[in-house]
Structure 1
């Protein structure tokens, strides 16, 4: 996202003076976005001064069925779920059942980080502020793609095998797995599973009657958006992410509509209270919007918004733009992109849900075009800017990927040489992978994440390209083997082949070693 932000600062073309957003203005923005890039559906809600100004759906919930989006259509809100997790923790703090400074091992004795000191001192606050010392998206292959058999217990024990990229509490690196641990803390403390707690203690009191912690919890799936891919300028409906083991919820599992999320925004804009529902004390609510982890800072900022700081609070990103604090978060799952943005001083909030990725990045452009109206900024063509950025980014990445596959077509390896790579390999947190022959082809099979299986194509030297059975996202990967003096593979490492691969495909964090059983 830093590259995107830099691009935007350099690309603004001023149009007209702004004003408070009207429904007509929002309708015109959506029409422009859908015209400029392949889209399925969009839903938008805007709140101001305790009222819902706009709540509406556009386009299709499903390309296959032709069902249309309305304000009650449920979307995956992905990492926008994180604020529900921190709100749940805040409720427990209010009730005196835990403290932000409590050590995680007090509630989860089996919790183990990469260093004994870090393990002993890791707090509840550390779970939700992205300052663990681990790298971006570390361990996300445990839940992406769907279909794996990893459990919460596996996640809790995985961190001891990860390699830190920075010192503890010194650097921001976004993560998901530690939010899963936070969800388990909620379970151990409250006696309710994370999804039960969020649904019973947050959603239902706020009147979010159709929302749920997981897709699997939805009682009615007749008005649910299906995910779509719009890569290479072609709109294709893909499979809904499923999580029957209920692993990922606290980091990104929630399904909600803009109608329901309007109530969520109104509650937060009123310091944790909606009508007669007091979800959080003002003290707890203030803690959610306090900066804990610095992302960037400038004492003398330039650019369009003259932003001094960017930081992470508790489930929310915090920054200043044009003199106002902006509280926001984005979310992304396969074929689903979304953003929630609040401007507390203006008592205003915006949520945009989309069901196509990248979809011209309209989840971002629509949100910020509406936000600029509230901020009194001169208008810029966010739709065109983000579509240009998205198109250029995809074109550049596709060129790299296409060149790799062209090289694969010319590369040759004998059947005898392929035998050196056959066997079983083990990574301490991801588990076993088997390299085998299937119908005369070299095949990569992940035992714990079956959708990460596919044919291995020879590339060069001791490197292959894995073409996964999983095609919902662009995530094929290099597989590079380490060889002994006889040319026999002893281990392997991986990395994605596409420059714009989603960070959750953290292949670079895997370190496979040949198992002893392979040598027998």
Structure 2
């Protein structure tokens, strides 16, 4: 299914089932329509759902563009979109509701006092001290393994996943740094299940969706096979100028971490959610359905948020995100405090803003093309809509929203490297600032920053069974696959240091296909017989990785979790380039994905007994590792 770029403007002009009210401060619906249409065109956004509220009035619930390009179905105010990580605010709100009935528990109660002695984290201090507030504010400091959790898909039940947290890995000391964690919100949801003796989904349905009359909202697992009333996600090929539909089966990665990102909703329902927060816990009937104090506590800062602020005088207005609360980011826009969160899952992206001082709320969701540039455009729509609702003169127009952060940033005289980085990040200059820092510190393409070196699960001096490892830690790191040319190294460095691994252009994926074809054409042979690599490799937290030979063509394959399946191509030494041949194909980076095997000497010969999968943002799996009964 191919769509010409020339057709896009006519698609964006389509709207359906819209409702828009003029406000006292002169909010102009037609003006907003024009702005949204222009941003959607330049950012190649196929469809968008929008809800705006002011006080307890719904100003706008509207669909723009197409929910399904092939069938010509427009987005309507009831079209369902996954809202991904905006679910986190629902989980925090659920707990604000539950705590009204739980007299002996607060957000500062150690979770081990709630769950019992079986609950453990990697160290005693975290185990004894971690609270709900820690899980809400991303300060546990543990490796989230997000590539496995929301990429390959960890295939296990939620209770088993929680029991395996004891085998996790520390990245930062407890409560010292911000480290985004779907894993910790999954824990928060599990604790509610444990206490209420029902699943998190049922609690959200009964305590929030039903109470707020959000009748169409549901969960990812219920829309995977559904076509009617659900937006179809897309990515966009910028070289060929066409959209590519994604398989909604990829949304099943959200089933395990549901409390972190599995809710699906519409503009009509999200307007009710926005008004609930604007009214500080009241439903549309004016009834206080969640205690105002406990709900307000979810907006309070708990952790420093690592962002690069939009500041004066570089930009016309200031916009900063200094702290993280409980499922919300605290933001200051033009002097107005607000809470905000975004979401990204399976080709869908979303955002929600609540201004308590202005009593307004904004919701947006898009069904592609899943790029940083499109997400940036969606956030500019938030700024423009906020200006209209607040009665402020907007500092944006379609041209500057499409070119942002140009023409304001970078400043005159900026390096070409900085300008190129802005283009590759789609205006997300938090990554740009990181690159500027590396440039100032003397990092180069030939000298990658330390965070491009993958982490290992155990010390590389010895294997888990105590056998000597072939090569020192430094030598092992040196053998990790690094592309040969300077251009490839530049791409490899940018890819392995970016903080948002799943926002990729499809052109990147096709570049990877070329890399795979070139690897095949080189006819590189593996360092050992393929059978030496086969077997089951285990990780105490992540489960099993299986390597096997395909009986039909004799090629080496791997299998991990829900969507980790593909072919392995020898690259060099004991390193293999592998493919992703499932619904998650679109997360594949231009530099390819590699896994590298390591051996130990059993006294007679070197035996392959460990594999780093993948070499970037991956983990160490060990042959025959058994998970103890827990």
TM category (shorter chain) comes to 0.7 to 0.9
Specify the alignment match of 2:334 in structure 1.
322
List gaps (5 residues or longer) in structure 2: 1-24, 406-421, 428-503
Q: Which stretch of the first structure deviates more once superposed, 105-114 or 262-271?
A: 105-114
List gaps (5 residues or longer) in structure 1: 1-18, 497-506
Q: C-alpha distance in 2, partners of 1:214/1:94?
A: 28
Change (3 A) 1:291 1:55: same
Specify the alignment match of 2:229 in structure 1.
223
Cα deviation, 1:40-59, whole Å, max 9, x if unaligned, reads 31111111122111111012
Kept in 1, the 8 Å contact 2:137–2:303? The answer is yes
Kept in 2, the 8 Å contact 1:301–1:308? The answer is yes
Change (3 A) 1:85 1:397: same
Change (3 A) 1:407 1:465: same
Specify the alignment match of 1:169 in structure 2.
175
Q: C-alpha distance in 2, partners of 1:319/1:515?
A: 48
Deviation at 1:420, TM superposition (A): 3.0
TM-score of the superposition, structure 2-length normalised?
A: 0.71
Match of 1:495 among 600, 611, 614: 614
Q: C-alpha distance in 1, partners of 2:200/2:120?
A: 21
Does structure 1 residue 465 correspond to structure 2 residue 577? yes
Specify the alignment match of 2:381 in structure 1.
366
Q: C-alpha distance in 2, partners of 1:415/1:166?
A: 37
Cα deviation, 1:455-487, whole Å, max 9, x if unaligned, reads 011222322111011244223521011133555
Q: What aligned pairs does 1:7-406 form with structure 2 within 5 A after superposition?
A: 21-97=27-103, 98-109=105-116, 110-135=118-143, 137-138=144-145, 141-145=148-152, 149-216=155-222, 222-232=228-238, 234-240=242-248, 241-243=250-252, 246-274=255-283, 275-296=285-306, 302=312, 303-304=314-315, 305-307=317-319, 310-358=322-370, 360-361=374-375, 362-373=377-388, 374=390, 376-379=393-396, 381-385=400-404, 394=505, 401=512, 404-405=515-516
Q: Which stretch of the first structure deviates more once superposed, 158-167 or 413-422?
A: 413-422
Match of 2:544 among 432, 435, 455: 432
Deviation at 1:422, TM superposition (A): 2.3
Change (3 A) 1:508 1:378: closer
Deviation at 1:141, TM superposition (A): 1.6
Kept in 2, the 8 Å contact 1:481–1:489? The answer is yes
TM-score of the superposition, structure 1-length normalised?
A: 0.85
Kept in 2, the 8 Å contact 1:155–1:181? The answer is no
Name which one, 1 or 2, has greater alpha-carbon Rg.
2
What secondary structure, in the 3-state scheme, does the structure 1 residue paired with 2:559 have?
strand
Count residues with an aligned counterpart: 485
Kept in 2, the 8 Å contact 1:231–1:358? The answer is no
Q: C-alpha distance in 2, partners of 1:346/1:479?
A: 51
Does structure 1 residue 456 correspond to structure 2 residue 568? yes
What secondary structure, in the 3-state scheme, does the structure 2 residue paired with 1:186 have?
helix
Kept in 2, the 8 Å contact 1:162–1:509? The answer is no
Q: C-alpha distance in 1, partners of 2:320/2:369?
A: 31
Specify the alignment match of 2:621 in structure 1.
512
Match of 2:596 among 477, 480, 483: 480
Q: Which stretch of the first structure deviates more once superposed, 474-483 or 264-273?
A: 474-483
Give the superposed CA RMSD: 3.1
Kept in 2, the 8 Å contact 1:368–1:382? The answer is no
Change (3 A) 1:22 1:215: farther
What secondary structure, in the 3-state scheme, does the structure 1 residue paired with 2:570 have?
strand
Larger RCO: Structure 1 or Structure 2 (Cα < 8 Å, ≥ 6 residues apart)? Answer: 1
